[in-house]
């Protein structure tokens, strides 16, 4: 569909609820000029630090950057990282429904980089307590009918513990529900509108394939088994393919130069969800998502695509 171009006004009127695992991405930038005398490791002299909202929060950031109305429901700790996340959400005009847990810290990923090369990543995380998870379900039930589409962003940190019930609630409310899946067991995602696995995730869930026909068989078989409206497989340098009951639609990659693929999956599902919330078809949504992903992979770290950048990419 070379002539399809989404409009900002329809995006601005669309409302998306994002629920799932959030994290604070910390970046420490420094120079390395020597090896430590204590161990054979580089010594980084840190000169700059940066905080970014990651995980489900990055999905929400992408929706806001494209002009959509978005709310974020997640669990965070009673800590400084949660305060930083809340401030970032305010800056990005994201409605905040963060459940504060006294028993589990905010998931934190600390990356140390030198000359745009990652030296090490340190993860701090703990599964949320049951009380916080119950609060998520209660708040979700209150919110779901107020939005045009729901995105469930699963990073395997535990917030989507009752994902089947969340899918059912969205379906009862007549809302499309899109899921970025995690792990090998996709049965819990049955009945969703759309799943967006990458190639590695699909292989883990459905088994390997030897050729395009094998990939199609695996994807369509999984879609039918789970009762999905569609399955979108992101294929890195091969673009992405949308599988539906009436066949499949493929989009080649739009990236001119791949700099960093981290967060690209967040951009894809954000653009898909916002497009569906705005009333566009699944193929139109994929066209939009493919262009947005091509923008963010040319940026460092968890990045977003603005509506202006999307317009330029689609018009290029």
- Tens of pLDDT along 90-128? 999 999 999 999 999 999 999 999 998 899 999 999 999
Residue 255: band (very low, low, confident or very high) from pLDDT cuts 50, 70, 90: low
Question: Sorting pLDDT into bands at 50, 70 and 90, what band is 4?
Answer: confident
- Please give the average per-residue pLDDT across 150-172, as a whole number: 95
Confidence of residue 263 (pLDDT cuts 50, 70, 90): low
pLDDT band at 303 (very low <50, low <70, confident <90, very high): confident
| pLDDT tens readout for residues 6-63 | 888 999 999 999 999 999 999 999 999 999 999 999 999 999 999 999 999 999 999 9
pTM confidence score: 0.92
Residue 84 tokens read as 């930083």
Query: What local confidence, expressed as pLDDT, does residue 246 receive?
Result: 94
Specify the pLDDT at position 316. Answer: 57
pLDDT over 90, % of the chain? 80
The answer to whether the CB of 56 falls within 8 A of the CB of 24 is no
At 202, list the tokens: 């699909």
Identify the pLDDT of residue 184: 87
The catalytic residues are 266
Residue 262 confidence (pLDDT):
60
The yes-or-no verdict on residue 133 having pLDDT over 60 is yes
Of all helices (H) and strands (E), which one includes residue 13?
helix 8-13
- Per the prediction, the chain carries an average pLDDT of 92
> Beta strand 69-77 with 22-35: parallel, antiparallel or unpaired?
unpaired
Residue 295's SS3 state is: helix
Please tell me the predicted confidence (pLDDT) of residue 2. 52
260: exposed, middle or buried (Cβ count in 10 Å: 0-12, 13-18, 19+):
middle
CA separation for the pair 46, 111 (Å, rounded): 12
Position with higher pLDDT, 12 vs 5: 12
Query: So what's the pLDDT on residue 301?
Result: 65
Check: CB of residue 95 under 8 Å from CB of residue 72: yes
Local confidence band at 244 (pLDDT 50, 70, 90 cut-offs): very high
pLDDT the model gives residue 137? 96
């Amino acid at each position: 569909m070379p002539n399809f171009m989404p409009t900002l006004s329809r995006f601005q009127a669309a409302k998306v609820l994002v629920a799932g695992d959030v994290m604070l991405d910390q970046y420490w930038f420094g120079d390395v000029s020597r090896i430590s005398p204590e161990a054979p490791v580089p010594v980084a002299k840190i000169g700059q630090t940066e905080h970014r909202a990651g995980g489900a929060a990055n999905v929400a950031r992408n929706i806001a950057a494209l002009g959509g109305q978005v709310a974020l429901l997640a669990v965070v700790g009673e800590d400084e990282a949660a305060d930083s996340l809340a401030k970032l959400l305010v800056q990005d005009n994201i409605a905040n429904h963060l459940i504060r847990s006294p028993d589990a810290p905010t998931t934190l990923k600390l990356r140390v980089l030198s000359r745009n090369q990652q030296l090490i990543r340190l993860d701090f995380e703990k599964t949320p307590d049951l009380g916080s998870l119950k609060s998520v379900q209660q708040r979700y039930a209150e919110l779901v009918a107020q939005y045009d589409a729901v995105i469930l962003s699963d990073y395997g940190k535990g917030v989507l513990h009752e994902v089947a019930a969340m899918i059912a609630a969205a379906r009862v409310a007549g809302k499309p529900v899109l899921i970025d899946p995690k792990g090998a067991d996709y049965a819990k995602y049955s009945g969703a509108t759309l799943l967006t696995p990458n190639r590695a995730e699909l292989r883990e869930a459905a088994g390997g394939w030897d050729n395009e026909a094998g990939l199609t068989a695996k994807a369509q078989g999984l879609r039918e088994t789970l009762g999905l409206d569609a399955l979108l497989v992101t294929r890195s340098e091969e673009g992405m393919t949308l599988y539906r009951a009436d066949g499949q639609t493929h989009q080649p990659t739009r990236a001119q130069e791949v700099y960093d693929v981290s967060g690209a999956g967040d951009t894809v599902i954000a653009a898909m969800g916002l497009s569906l919330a705005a009333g566009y078809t699944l193929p139109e949504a994929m066209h939009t998502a493919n262009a947005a992903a091509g923008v963010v992979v040319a940026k460092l770290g968890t990045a977003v695509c603005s509506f202006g950048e999307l317009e330029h990419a689609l018009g290029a």
